Chain A
Amino acid sequence: DSGVTQTPKHLITATGQRVTLRCSPRSGDLSVYWYQQSLDQGLQFLIQYYNGEERAKGNILERFSAQQFPDLHSELNLSSLELGDSALYFCASSVEAEGSAYEQYFGPGTRLTVT
């Protein structure tokens, strides 16, 4: 158990809909990262937050947005969903802002299926 929690575990929704994925980092970790993993794309970095502020942005679509709240939990919002958005979405946390210097702890993931 990494100490990172994600809800829900599974999500099935229709195209055009909007969903919210939630992540609680490990106790004491200030950085939260979101990743998307699909079969043909591997693990893709989406966005990082550090202590409530956006720190780094990856290949995140404009239809996607995220935020980190004062209690450090984070939410990833996906809107106007398309079939291609079906994937595993992972949240990870680490101690420091410069994530590469420290290991990242991954949550169990949310499996999103868009039908």
Chain B
Amino acid sequence: SQKIEQNSEALNIQEGKTATLTCNYTNYSPAYLQWYRQDPGRGPVFLLLIRENEKEKRKERLKVTFDTTLKQSLFHITASQPADSATYLCALIGTGRRALTFGSGTRLQVQP
């Protein structure tokens, strides 16, 4: 069956360090993969989109990689800040399909 797996355990890191979150998927051939940030009780906020023919995408302190061979995306936040504390969701869609499927998210806690 199709699965998107994100580490359900919270990731705790010190301010200033790089946070790395993982999204693994099985039985998908995604054309696109997206990352969202969600704060408690609020709607997800779009961060980055990466296409299957792109290896890496950057936006300010954020970097996403996409390895279709490993079926994995890594999401990096460099120089992390307490304000980066949130749940981060990956979402993807298979080729020829329309709906985004979201992973369950990984909670990031940045300690000052």
Residues of A within 8 A of B (CB): 2, 4, 33, 42-45, 48, 55-56, 58, 88, 90, 92, 97-109, 111
Contact = CB atoms under 8 A, between A and B. Distances in A.
B16 interface: no
Contact of A103 (B49, B97, B104): B49
A90 B46 CA distance: 14
Given A2-B45, A90-B43, A92-B43, A104 B100 contact: yes
A98 B102 CA distance: 16
B70 interface: no
Contacts of B41: 88, 109, 111
A101 B32 contact: yes
Interface of B: 31-32, 34, 41-46, 49, 89, 92-93, 97-105
Contact of B100 (A2, A99, A105): A99
Nearest to A101: B32
Contact of B101 (A45, A92, A98, A102): A45
Contacts, number: 67
A2 B104 CA distance: 22
B98 A105 contact: no
A39 to B, nearest CB: 10
B99 A56 contact: yes
Contacts of A111: 41
Nearest to A107: B43
Contact of B43 (A56, A100, A109): A109
Nearest to B95: A100
